[in-house]
Amino acid sequence: MKTNQKIVSLFFALLLLFVTACSSNNSSGSGDAASEGEKVTIKFAAWGGPEETQELQDLVDQVNETASNYKIELIPIPNDYYTKLQTMISGNTAPDIFYLSQEWVPSYASKNVLLDITEYANNDAGLDLGDYYDEPLRTSTYGDSLYGLPWISQPVVMYYNTAMFDEAGIPYPDNTWDWDKFREIAKELTKDTNDDGRLDQWGFTANGWPPADIWVKSMGGGFFTEDGEVVLDSPESIKGLEILHAILHEDGSVPQASTIEQQGLAEMFKAGRVGMFFGGASDDLDRIENLKVEATVVPQGTERATFNWIASVVASAKTKNPDITYEALRDMTEAIHNWKIVPPVKSLTDKIQEIEPRKPDSTVEAIKESMPYAKGVTGHEKQQELDSLIWDNLTGPLIQGNGTPEELAKKTAEKLREFIANNE
Amino acid sequence: MSSKFKKILKENLVGYLFISPWILGMILFTVGPIFASVYISMTNWDTFTTPEFIGFENYQNLMNDPKFWKALQVTFTFALFSVPLNLAGGLFTAMLLNQKVKGMKVFRTIFYLPSVVSGVATALLWRWIFNTDVGLINTVLSKIGITGPNWLGDPDFVLPSYIIMSLWGFGNAMLVFLAALQDAPVALYESADIDGATHIHKFWYITLPLISPILLFNLIMGIIGGLKIFTEAYIVGGAGDSALFFMLYLWQNAFQYMKMGYASAMAWVLFAIILLITLIILKSSPLWVYYEGKKK
């Protein structure tokens, strides 16, 4: 009898514990009680590998030391970042501040998940918005509101293997190159070095990266205008796609798609099998052992253009203390500017080598030159669906050689217009 | 409360207590979400804002979504070939492993080993095996003068690649078949031998009927597994949408396009399809499944 009663009470005790443990999650999400001089906890979600996370943790510790009213707690999310983030937000345990890549900003902002920081930023004497490059700032803006501060802005530049150029007796690429010159040299660098009848050195490589944007925009075209109008089927855009198509399928200067897929796009360059590579500004391509690599800007068409990979730190709309969260967001972002390259602010462009001493002069020059014209994504609330649509109808078939650039561009443009019209 | 009921409750309380963690977990993390997803499938929900009830609109939209049909087609074509091949492969291997040969335990372990390897590792391994230039398959083919295809890059070869890859996992079916084969009474085979039966006779008239219940089990599990393929598709990919498996498209909708309602509707459609197929197979089973001691 007694034992039974004990068991019953134990059962309910456990049940109670379980239920409270589950429900308490709801409130633990964001910064509790700023009262009585206690520091507000600001949860900060970020992606990154183990090494990067350790560096970021050190940075967070530094920021926390100088902060008087908050304490940032880092939540590293090494894999499946957006799946995890989406689940946390849906479950009301959103981190107070978090990384958000440019293509997700309109999607999150339109769903009212992000804190509008326009007022805070405008009234913040300690913040100089004018110091930011326009393009990164544009990608953290949705409608007329600012939803975050960019922490990185990496223009795509062209890395090249100097040994390969020396061997072929070709002068190094520079900022005067256009696509014709580029194609010509890429063909010259492509060869069978050991005479086994199979190519083992290529001039260039592409498999969906680098983004087709680069070619399209350099010929004066684009996927969308800044107002979101589809211009993918304009003659300029088609011209750009035709150049990319020729590089992929006519010149023979690019490895087979399957070879690239399995040996790795950048890995082939690092292994010294590819002469020229378009990479992000902070890639480690120019510090590979036994490989001398320099960089310059990507070749020009009728205009100068390159892709810009941008990410921001944003805040959750549900954060408990927006004022303090904004402060933490600003301090954290500014700290990151001095840690990661390329900082999206003009005042630090000359300090790239102080931030990242391993970056060679030529790469730094290429970055500086690219920054003013490097463009990010236009941004749409359903960017992911647009990206799938573009991949399925344009990029994928273009890489496989199924269809002419003109056909593909026209078909894709039609589908994009239809999609946008249906989702307005 | 009647005293009888009280007594039963008292007697069983300890039992319930012991299974309570499972019951709680089951209700909270399985039954709850299942019921929730019925509702979610009738809403327009981006997972961030409040779900908006739209009735059966998601289901209607599915019917007009070419990618949904493409995903169904890809998935069913895959299952149509992969399931029978896996059953045949599993059964054949189980029969080989049922022979009396020295060191059989080692062989059994070896053949079962692939089924223990994690799906992600397997998928990564197969990507290399299918490599056009340096992959195992094409290297072997080139030795005998055949230029192998671009397995994962050529839309026509993507599904065959997946079907070949799926054969890697027949170990589970094989194990169950092996257990069934070992259960088969030796006396039956001995009398058949005396009557002068051939190997084919013995297989057709003794082995197959005896293991037919197991065949039924493996068939149903195989179909469910085949239609739910995700890990391989997520890791390996494939040219264009030739590897757009149902679960992959479902995941894309849920976590990339943030259309959780639509994804839930997809899940229920797949559930209905699997349920229907399973019911048809179960109803048809008296025609081809033999249960000992049960007269037709």
* DSSP string computed for chain B: --HHHHHHHHHHHHHHHHHHHHHHHHIIIIIHHHHHHHHHTTEE--SSS--EE-TTHHHHHHHT-HHHHHHHHHHHHHHHHHHHHHHHHHHHHHHHTTS--TTHHHHHHHHHHHHHS-HHHHHHHHHHHT-TTT-HHHHHHHHTT-----TTTSHHHHHHHHHHHHHTTTHHHHHHHHHHHHHS-HHHHHHHHHTT--HHHHIIIIIHHHHHHHHHHHHHHHHHHHHT--HHHHHH--STTTT--HHHHHHIIIIIS--HHHHHHHHHHHHHHHHHHHHHHHHHHHHH---TT---
DSSP string, A39-96: PEEEEEEE---HHHHHHHHHHHHHHHHH-SSEEEEEEE--SSHHHHHHHHHHTT---S
Q: How far is B50 from chain A (nearest CA, A)?
A: 10
Answer whether B20 touches A (CB < 8 Å): yes
| Confidence (pLDDT) at B290 | 84
Reference A373, options A424, A276, A297; nearest CA is: A297
Reference B216, options B277, B168, B162; nearest CA is: B277
Burial letters for A223-245: b for 16+ Cβ neighbours within 10 Å, e otherwise?
bbeeeeebbbbbebbbbbbbbbb
| Confidence (pLDDT) at A31 | 44
**Coil, strand or helix at A251:** coil
Which chain A residues are closer than 8 Å to B127 by Cβ? 261-262
Task: Provide the CB-side half-sphere exposure for B26 (13 A, CA).
Answer: 5
DSSP code for A285? G
Reference A105, options A419, A306, A382; nearest CA is: A382
Helix (H) / strand (E) containing A306: strand A306-315
DSSP string, A118-172: HHHHHT-TT--GGGB-HHHHHHTEETTEE-EEEEEEEE-EEEEEHHHHHHHT-PP
**Those residues with Cβ within 8 angstroms of residue B80's Cβ, 6 or more apart along the chain or in another chain:** none
| Confidence (pLDDT) at B3 | 75
The type of residue at A145 is S
**Calpha distance B174→B197 (Å, rounded):** 25
Residue A44: φ, ψ to 5°: -130, 110
Q: How far is A300 from chain B (nearest CA, A)?
A: 30
| Confidence (pLDDT) at A1 | 44
pTM as predicted: 0.82
DSSP code for A173? P
Residue pair A332/A75 in contact (Cβ under 8 Å)? The answer is: no
* pLDDT (tens digit per residue) in B83-107: 999 999 999 999 999 988 888 889 9
Mean pLDDT of A307-331: 96
What is the count of residue pairs from A and B with beta carbons less than 8 Å apart?
A: 79
Q: Name the average pLDDT for chain B.
A: 90
Reference B271, options B41, B29, B23; nearest CA is: B41
Torsion angle of C-alpha atoms B61, B64, B65, B66, degrees rounded to 10: 170
* pLDDT (tens digit per residue) in A134-149: 999 999 999 999 999 9
| Confidence (pLDDT) at B58 | 95
What separation in angstroms does the CA of A231 have from each of A138, A237, B130?
20, 7, 39
Interchain CB distance below 8 Å, B131 and A258:
yes
pLDDT at A28 over 70: no
Answer whether A16 touches B (CB < 8 Å): no
* pLDDT (tens digit per residue) in A241-279: 999 999 999 999 999 877 887 788 899 999 999 999 999
Q: Which residues pair with A296 in a beta bridge?
A: A158
What separation in angstroms does the CA of A244 have from each of A158, A184, A237, A240, B15?
15, 14, 11, 7, 69
Answer whether B64 touches A (CB < 8 Å): no
Closest Cβ opposite residue B256 in set A22, A89, A384: A384
What separation in angstroms does the CA of A70 have from each of A7, A40, A89, A164?
45, 4, 21, 53
Residue pair B288/B211 in contact (Cβ under 8 Å)? The answer is: no
Answer whether B252 touches A (CB < 8 Å): yes
Residue pair A107/A383 in contact (Cβ under 8 Å)? The answer is: yes
What separation in angstroms does the CA of B107 have from each of B93, B101, B181?
10, 10, 16
Reference A99, options A123, A74, A118, A119; nearest CA is: A74
Residue pair A97/A32 in contact (Cβ under 8 Å)? The answer is: no
Q: Which residues pair with A312 in a beta bridge?
A: A100, A150
Interchain CB distance below 8 Å, B20 and A83:
no
How big is chain A, counted in residues?
A: 424
**Residues 325-354 in A contacting B (C-alpha not used; CB under 8 Å):** none
Interface test with B, best of A7, A258, A316, A419 (most B CBs within 10 A): A258
| Confidence (pLDDT) at A32 | 46
Reference A152, options A19, A290, A21, A332; nearest CA is: A332
Interchain CB distance below 8 Å, B47 and A90:
yes
Answer whether A392 touches B (CB < 8 Å): yes
Which chain B residues are closer than 8 Å to A15 by Cβ? 20, 24
| Residue whose tokens read 């019209």 | A421
* pLDDT (tens digit per residue) in A92-148: 999 999 999 999 999 999 999 999 999 999 999 999 999 999 999 999 999 999 999
Q: Name the average pLDDT for chain A.
A: 89
Q: How far is A264 from chain B (nearest CA, A)?
A: 12
Q: Where does the pLDDT of residue A7 fall: very low under 50, low under 70, confident under 90, or very high at 90 and above?
A: low
**Calpha distance B85→A47 (Å, rounded):** 42
Q: Which residue of B has its CA nearest to A402?
A: B240
| Confidence (pLDDT) at B33 | 93
Range of weakest confidence among A59-63, A176-180, A351-355, B263-267: A351-355
The type of residue at A96 is D
Q: Where does the pLDDT of residue B221 fall: very low under 50, low under 70, confident under 90, or very high at 90 and above?
A: very high
Interchain CB distance below 8 Å, A385 and B47:
no
| Cα angle: B217, vertex B220, B223; to 5 degrees | 145
Answer whether B17 touches A (CB < 8 Å): yes
How many C-beta neighbours within 10 Å does residue A285 have?
Answer: 20
* pLDDT (tens digit per residue) in A330-378: 999 999 999 998 999 999 989 998 998 888 899 999 999 999 999 999 8
How big is chain B, counted in residues?
A: 296
pLDDT at B239 over 80: no
Instruction: For residue B45, count CB atoms less than 10 angstroms from its CB and return exposed for 0-12, middle for 13-18, buried for 19 or more.
Output: buried
* pLDDT (tens digit per residue) in A62-91: 999 999 999 999 999 998 899 999 999 998
Percent of chain A past pLDDT 70, that is, above it, reads 91
**Calpha distance A268→A270 (Å, rounded):** 5
Answer whether A111 touches B (CB < 8 Å): yes
Closest Cβ opposite residue A113 in set B48, B131, B239: B48
Which chain B residues are closer than 8 Å to A108 by Cβ? 48
Closest Cβ opposite residue A7 in set B14, B131, B155: B14
Residue A300, sorted as left (phi over 0), alpha (psi -120 to 50) or beta, turns out to be beta
**Those residues with Cβ within 8 angstroms of residue A23's Cβ, 6 or more apart along the chain or in another chain:** none
A368/B132: higher pLDDT: A368
| Confidence (pLDDT) at A409 | 97
* pLDDT (tens digit per residue) in B278-296: 999 999 998 888 887 655 4
B169/A18: higher pLDDT: B169
Q: Where does the pLDDT of residue A30 fall: very low under 50, low under 70, confident under 90, or very high at 90 and above?
A: very low
Mean pLDDT of B121-142: 87
